[in-house]
Amino acid sequence: MMMKPMMMDQDIKLHSGTRIYGKWHKKNYQIIRHLGSGAQGTVYLAHSNQGEVAIKFGKDPSSLISEVNILKRFVALQGDPLGPYLYDVDDWVTNKGTINFYVMECIKGVTLDDSIRHKGFEWTCVFILQLLKDLSRLHELGFVFGDLKPENLMITESNYRIRCLDFGGTTQIGRSIKEYTEFFDRGYWGMGIRKAEPSYDLFAVMMIFIYAAEKRRFNKTEHPRDELIKKIKTNPKLKPFEKILLKALGGQFHHANDMRQAFLYKMNETNRIDSRITRRRTASSPSKKRYQKKKSVSGWIGASVWAVVIITLYVMYTVLYVM
Amino acid sequence: MNKGKIKQILLITDGCSNQGEDPAAMAALAKEHGIVVNVIGVMENYETDDHGMKEIDNIASAGGGVSQVVQTKQLSQTVQMVTRQAMTQTIKGVVNQELQDILGDSKSMEDLPPEKRGRVMEVVDDLGETVDLEVCILVDTSASMKTKLPTVREALLDLSLSLTSRMGKNQFCLYTFPGKRKDTSKIMSWTPKIDHISQVFSKLASGGVTPTGPAIRDVIKSFSTSSRRHLISHDDEAYDDGPRY
Ligand SMILES: Nc1ncnc2c1ncn2[C@@H]1O[C@H](COP(=O)(O)OP(=O)(O)O)[C@@H](O)[C@H]1O
Ligand SMILES: [Mg+2]
């Protein structure tokens, strides 16, 4: 019983073509390729009778059970899905032992982490608004997401919608957070205990925002709180949202929807600033530079004003349409 | 566990013991007392110290606990993860025992179909959240640990953050080894507040040999005096040891 110490870092490696057979439900799957790995499991793209699916294999026999319990609750939910659709839960008996797995909808797209690295900050703003909407629904169901971070969020390629993955950290409100990642955890930054309450997730949302602006994770130093405040006040991308971010930092938002409204309001007010940053970023790309050199100064200003107007319209369009 | 209580020893060390009993044997002894032994090996970077790693593994196996070797900077998250996992593991052990009583033969949670397993896991989760926890922290302060102690301190504070977020009660005590004249010295008696560690940690002296086995043997008593005290008398202040609620 429980005599073996658990090993926490083995990754499950499967070759493309490997056949997976479920012990209980007797369904067949065939591995196509690796999709991603995390602390709890490894996810593969696979063929099934229903078409392409994502299969998550657990690193230890029961690591996936609690997230499966959460995904099951979502199956019955109305409206936009809160997580990937759950198809099957089973065990795969191999000659090296039994591996627990579950089969879910494959979400086609990139992680928020990739999106942050390759797309403008205005996109992150839109995704955060979408995320806050989903979190608000999750909180209403009585759960806190817990391990909120860019790797656990995906952006669908079909309609630019954020989707939560990995409900391994999802915890009933009032209990202690099951799983977290230091950089996004308020406990790590000395900003509160790890109790599941909406403000715990909202702190992580704020950290995702900081991460998106800084494009890197940094370690805490002597005064973690002051450090975050300084980042918020000095980074030009964060500055316009200072009030909201500081409020989330202090755990003063108790509803995701309040934070969303505050962002929505601020974004309408400040998207010019956002756009200017976007323009500066694109302006430094080599192809644009060559183009700019040929233009006169006044012509350049005219063009950039147009760019601001167009980008502003674009942001408004995405805010209104995509959400 | 019968009374809804989990007892753990959390051993934080960086390598090989070199004095006294085999630490794995002492961990097995702890297990006989109903105490789980978890071990965290702190390495500067992954020094390939097979012997040390093996020992760490053996202690946890014998002590029915979880072991993990980490680099100094990852210590915080690992300490809380190991404690939590070991707790779940202990509860699962008990739940499995119950299942065997109900279902007969050698059925365990993993033999149940996924649907039923999900329901059992909810029970395990519930218990993990509400059970009372006693953790005796045992820190290796032999010479080689000196530079790692500030990180250990921080990791323990972080552990308290996680555990105090639970609904169940917690009790901690802190011992270090080697002690001044003995194998072990008691730094902090049982208390619900691990934060007190902050103050005592700066006073920790480091240096000397590594009597891991004897240290485990010693701290088993810190738990057992508590039950003895309950058996003998309730107001015998001569026993400073033993968690109090
Ligand atoms: N349904 C899915 N569709 C597409 N990719 C996925 C899906 N689920 C997980 N992934 C990929 O696998 C990675 C790891 O999965 P995750 O559930 O986060 O594992 P862990 O619990 O170990 O962190 C994710 O970051 C993502 O890139
Ligand atoms: Mg993940």
DSSP assignment of B108-126? -GGGS-HHHHHHHHHHHHH
Smallest Cβ–Cβ distance between A2 and the set B92, B114, B161 belongs to: B92
pLDDT tens for each residue of A108-128: 999 999 999 999 999 999 999
Q: Categorize the per-residue pLDDT at B79 as very low, low, confident or very high, splitting at 50, 70 and 90.
A: confident
Query: Is residue B235 in a domain?
Result: no
ipTM > 0.90 (yes/no): no
Which of A147, A185, A201, A258 does the annotation list as catalytic? A147
Residue A174 gets the label, from left (phi > 0), alpha (psi -120 to 50) or beta, of left
Q: What is the pLDDT of residue A151?
A: 95
Q: Is B226 domain-assigned?
A: no
Residue B175 has pLDDT above 90, yes or no: yes
Range of the structural domain that residue B124 is part of: 5-220
A282 by DSSP, 3-state: which?
helix
- Classify residue B196: in a domain, yes or no: yes
- The pTM of this model reads 0.83
3-state DSSP assignment of residue B168: coil
Strand (E) or helix (H) holding A51: strand A51-58
What percentage of chain A carries pLDDT values higher than 90?
69
Helix (H) or strand (E) holding A211: helix A198-214
Question: At residue A266, does pLDDT exceed 70?
Answer: yes
- Helices A198-214 and A242-249 cross at an angle (nearest 10°) of 130
The fold adopted by the segment(s) A109-260 is Transferase(Phosphotransferase); domain 1 (1.10.510)
How far apart are alpha carbons A197 and A193 in whole angstroms? 10
High-pLDDT (> 70) share of chain B, %: 85
Q: Does some domain include residue B232? A: no
pLDDT at B59: 95
Q: Where are the domains of chain A?
A: 19-105, 109-260
Check residue A85 and report its DSSP letter: P
Residue B243 lies in a domain: no
Domain count, chain B: 1
Identify the residue whose C-alpha is closest to ligand 1 atom 18: A166
- Assign residue B169 the CATH number of its domain: 3.40.50.410
For A171, other C-beta atoms within 10 Å of its C-beta total 29
Considering the domain A19-105 in this protein, what is its CATH number?
Answer: 3.30.200.20
CA distance B122 to chain A (A): 7
Tell whether B17 is covered by a domain: yes
Q: Say if residues B82 and B56 touch (Cβ distance below 8 Å).
A: no
Residue of A48, A154, A155, A167 with the most ligand 1 atoms within 8 Å of its CB, for mutation: A154
- Distance, CA B143 to ligand 1 centroid (Å)? 43
A196 within 8 A of A203, measured Cβ to Cβ:
no
Report residue A127 as tokens: 């995704």
Quote the CA–CA distance of A195 and B166 in Å, as a whole number: 7
Higher pLDDT among residues B114 and B96, named by residue: B114
Contact B167 A4 (CB under 8 A): no
A305, A311 Cβ separation under 8 angstroms: no
pLDDT digits (tens, 9 = 90+) for B15-52: 788 888 999 999 999 999 999 999 998 877 656 677 88
d(CA A230, CA A163): 31
Which residue spans within chain B are E strands per DSSP?
5-13, 35-43, 67-71, 132-140, 170-177, 185-191
Q: Is some CB atom of chain B closer than 8 A to the CB atom of A76?
A: no
